[in-house]
């Protein structure tokens, strides 16, 4: 299998299994943390294929390069400065992805709680009846081992 075939398989399968096709992506650009809202149509343009950890094959990740950040910037909003964000992460027991999710959720006037609800069952936040998955840069969407387990 070529990398393109694996990438397409992971992207298509993830999309088929996902509870929602709406996303809020977080990324740093020039010292600013942005949040960009998008639908699954953007996934092939902003995700990449990477090696998964612990022998789980390949992983589908959100690790935007400069060109991918520019694609997302078109519809992005400023969330906060990179310095403020890093201070929030440093003073918390949560990682950057969780802090981003917390800031976005609270930005919608909702209470955030860390959960482990699978992407197949719910989004991370619901706004005006629309569920969104929230992903911060370096986030893994799925790996080959997880996909094989889900497809049984």
pLDDT tens-place string over residues 74-130: 989 999 999 999 999 999 999 999 999 999 999 999 999 999 999 999 999 999 999
User: What pLDDT, on the 0 to 100 scale, is given for residue 75?
Assistant: 86
Angstrom distances, CA of residue 88 to CA of 63, 81, 109? 21, 11, 18
H helix or E strand, kind and range, residue 142: strand 139-143
* CA of residue 20 relative to chain centroid, distance: 12
pLDDT at residue 1 greater than cutoff 80:
no
Share of the chain above pLDDT 90, in %: 95
Mean of pLDDT over the chain: 96
Strand ranges inside the chain, DSSP E: 22-29, 32-39, 48-51, 58-62, 76-81, 125-127, 130-136, 139-143
Please state the pTM of the whole predicted model.
0.95
CA-based R_g, the chain, Å: 15
Return all residues near 126 (Cβ < 8 A) that are at least 6 apart: 132
* pLDDT, mean of residues 32-40: 97
Q: Where are the domains of the chain?
A: 3-151
CB 7 within 8 A of CB 49: yes
Q: Distance between CA atoms of 48 and 60, rounded to whole angstroms?
A: 6
CB 9 within 8 A of CB 61: no
């Amino acid at each position: 299998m070529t990398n393109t075939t694996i990438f397409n398989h992971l992207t298509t399968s993830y999309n088929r299994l996902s509870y929602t096709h709406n996303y809020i992506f977080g990324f740093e650009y020039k010292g600013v943390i942005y949040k960009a809202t998008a639908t699954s149509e953007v996934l092939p343009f902003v995700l990449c294929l990477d090696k998964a950890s612990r022998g789980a094959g390949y992983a589908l990740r959100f690790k935007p390069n400069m060109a991918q950040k520019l694609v997302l910037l078109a519809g992005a909003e400023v969330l906060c400065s990179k310095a403020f964000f890093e201070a929030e992460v440093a003073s918390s027991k949560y990682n950057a992805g969780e802090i981003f999710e917390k800031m976005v959720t609270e930005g919608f006037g909702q209470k955030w709680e860390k959960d482990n609800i699978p992407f197949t069952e719910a989004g991370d936040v619901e706004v005006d009846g629309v569920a969104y998955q929230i992903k911060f840069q370096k986030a893994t969407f799925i790996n080959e081992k997880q996909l094989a387990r889900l497809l049984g």
